[in-house]
Amino acid sequence: MAKLLMGKEVSARIKAELKTEVDKLKEKGIVPGLAVIIVGEDPASQVYVRNKERACEECGIYSEKYALPEETTQEELLELINTLNNKTSISGILVQLPVPKHIDEKTIINAIAPNKDVDAFHPVNVGKIMVGNYDFMPCTPAGVMELIKESGVEVSGKECVVVGRSNIVGKPQAMLLLHQNGTVTICHSRTKNLAEKTKNADILVAAVGIPNFIKGDMIKEGAVVIDVGINRLENKKLCGDVEFETAEKVAGAITPVPGGVGPMTVAMLMKNTVKAAIINKSK
């Protein structure tokens, strides 16, 4: 049986450590603050934003939530971001994605001051990740790295396969694994003989957004399997990109969905917000 990598428990530990750090910072007059912006009514996004607010409370981080209507214009959103860029009580700014279609995602990401970009989506921060000299780790990939650490498996020298090439997860994930000296392969929808590649992985990260896409027979015996997918099935149940029932019989360690990577993303966001407060001397 595979070891279960319980993100919920690891994230609780990280948040408790952050709370202690935040208390110390407050004594020095530094107060971390996170602004979360959500545009529209996407139900999944609303859940994610609520989780982020709750995590702020747990860590003693000040938070402001801006829930804007679907018909908010790009100019209005840019104006809010500009205000928050200049607000000393706000250390970090997060615009929940996706934004409505009439708003250009790239323009929004580019408008966030890089020193407040706690998602690490701004091209300046993406570039810093590429060269390995970064202030902010991208939240989901950073959470994945913590869970790999939890498995007890050393990344250095291992065959690491990332399935998915999104800007939010796949690409930065590959960089973080590379920084820890993994031998990294990125697979995607055009990859030929996918199972051949995944079966070679000592560490497999699935981030494709297709329910139960990776089956047990695509996994190497004893591999560390990290499932970034959160898919809602027709019966309303959540499931990952990995078929858990078949995968756990083969894997050495595996994340559950929910309760695996999800809570880690939020914990890493809190970590970035504390870092931003120190950089920006927020008060």
96 binds ligand GUN (CB under 6 A): yes
Q: Considering only residues 145-164, where is the footprint of ligand GUN by CB under 6 A?
A: none
The 3 state secondary structure assigned to the chain is CCEECCHHHHHHHHHHHHHHHHHHHHHCCCCCEEEEEEECCCHHHHHHHHHHHHHHHHHCCEEEEEEECCCCCHHHHHHHHHHHHCCCCCCEEEECCCCCCCCCHHHHHHHCCHHHECCCCCHHHHHHHHHCCCCCCCHHHHHHHHHHHHHCCCCCCCEEEEECCCCCCHHHHHHHHHHCCCEEEEECCCCCCHHHHHCCCCEEEECCCCCCCECHHHCCCCCEEEECCCEECCCCCEECCECHHHHCCCCCEECCCCCCHHHHHHHHHHHHHHHHHHHHCCC
State which residue, 46 or 200, has the beta carbon closest to ligand GUN: 46
Min dist CB 189 to ligand GUN, Å, is 19
Q: Least distance to ligand GUN from the beta carbon of 230, Å? A: 9
Give the one residue of 139, 208, 267, 277 binding ligand GUN; rule: CB under 6 A. 139
Our CB check for ligand GUN shows the closer of 20 and 167 to be 167
Which of these segments, 11-19, 60-68, 94-102, 219-227, binds ligand GUN (CB under 6 A)?
94-102
Taking CB under 6 A as the rule, does residue 140 contact ligand GUN? Answer: yes
2 vs 274, beta carbon nearer ligand GUN: 274
Per CB under 6 A, which region of 14-22, 93-101, 156-164, 172-180 contacts ligand GUN? 93-101
Cis peptide before 138 (omega within 30 of 0): no
Q: Tell me how far, at minimum, the Cβ of 95 lies from ligand GUN, in Å.
A: 6
Binding mask 261-280 for ligand GUN (x = CB under 6 A): ----x---------------
Range in contact with ligand GUN (rule: CB under 6 A) among 24-32, 90-98, 177-185, 237-245: 90-98
User: CA neighbours within 13 Å on the CB side: how many for 211?
Assistant: 10
Stretch that binds ligand GUN, among 15-23, 63-71, 92-100, 205-213 (CB under 6 A): 92-100
Q: Report the catalytic residues.
A: 52, 96, 119
Determine which residue in the list 94, 142, 161, 177 makes contact with ligand GUN, applying CB under 6 A: 94
By C-beta, is 97 or 210 nearer to ligand GUN? Answer: 97
Residues 6+ apart with CB under 8 A from 164: 170, 187, 188, 205, 206, 207, 208, 209, 228, 241
11 binds ligand GUN (CB under 6 A): no
Residue number of the CB closest to ligand GUN reads: 97
Residues near ligand GUN (CB under 6 A) are: 94-97, 119, 139-140, 168, 265
